[in-house]
A and B are shown apart, each in its own frame.
Chain A
Amino acid sequence: MAEQRSEPDSGRRRLLRATLWGGGLAGLGALGGIGVKRLTQDPPAPKRPPLGPEFTYDVSRFQTSDPGLIQWRELSRFPSGLERPRNLCTTPGGHILVCGDDGIRRFDADGRELGFSPIQGRVHAVAVLPDESLLAGLPDQVQVIAPDGKVRAVWELEDVLPTSIAVADSRIFLADAHARVIRVLDLEGRPLQTIGQRDPDKGIEGFVVPSPYFCVRAAPDGLLRIANPGKHTIEAWTTDGDLELAWGRASFAIDGFCGCCNPVSFALLPDGGYVTGEKGLPRVKTYDECGAFTGIVAGTESFPEYVQATQAGTPEAASAGIYVVVDAAGRVLILDAIGGTVRIMVRKEDGDG
Chain B
Amino acid sequence: MAEAPGMNRRALLSGGLRGLGLLGIGTATGALATRDKRDDEVWQIDPDACIQCGLCATECVLEISAVKTVHSHGMCGYCELCTGYFEPDPVNLDEGAENQLCPTGAIERTYIEHPYYEYRIKPDLCVGCGKCVKGCNMFGNGSLYLQVNHDRCVDCNRCAIATACPAEAFRLVPRSEPYLLRGKEEA
Contacts and interface: CB of A to CB of B under 8 A. Distances in A.
Interface of A: 1, 5, 8-9, 12, 15-16, 19-20, 22-24, 26-35, 37-39, 41-46, 48-51, 54-59, 62, 205, 208-211, 230-232, 250-253, 258-262, 279-281, 310-315, 317-318
Interface residues of B, number: 65
Most-contacted residue by chain B among A230, A232, A251, A280 (CB, 10 A) = A230
Contact of A31 (B22, B30, B127, B157): B30
A44 B61 CA distance: 6
B103 A55 contact: yes
B110 interface: no
B121 to A, nearest CB: 16
9 contacts: A19-B15, A20-B19, A27-B29, A30-B31, A31-B34, A42-B157, A57-B135, A210-B141, A318-B141
A216 to B, nearest CB: 18
Contacts, number: 205
A37 B31 CA distance: 11
Contacts of B77: 208-211, 230, 260-261
A38 B129 contact: no
B12 interface: yes
Given A42-B160, A55-B54, A252-B88, A20 B26 contact: no
Interface in B9-25: 11-12, 15-16, 18-25
Given A27-B23, A261-B141, A312-B51, A50 B58 contact: yes
Contacts of B103: 54-55
B139 A27 contact: no
B112 interface: no
B22 A313 contact: no
Interface string B116-142: 000000000001010100110111111
Contacts of B114: 205
B152 interface: no
A260 B142 CA distance: 10
Contacts of B97: none
B69 interface: no
A251 B12 contact: no
Given A23-B23, A38-B34, A57 B131 contact: yes
Given A23-B22, A42-B160, A315-B48, A32 B137 contact: no
A229 to B, nearest CB: 8
A259 B83 CA distance: 5
Contacts of B12: 12, 15-16
Given A12-B11, A16-B11, A38-B158, A258 B139 contact: yes
Contact of B78 (A27, A30, A46, A230): A230
A231 B115 contact: yes
A37 B1 CA distance: 52
B22 A20 contact: yes
A276 to B, nearest CB: 15
Give the 6 A-B residue pairs with the shortest CB-CB distance, closest first: A27-B26, A210-B77, A259-B139, A31-B30, A23-B19, A16-B15
Contacts of B36: 38
Given A258-B88, A318-B138, 18 more contacts: A12-B12, A16-B12, A16-B15, A19-B18, A20-B22, A27-B22, A27-B27, A31-B30, A46-B61, A48-B59, A51-B129, A55-B131, A210-B76, A230-B80, A252-B89, A258-B139, A312-B51, A313-B137
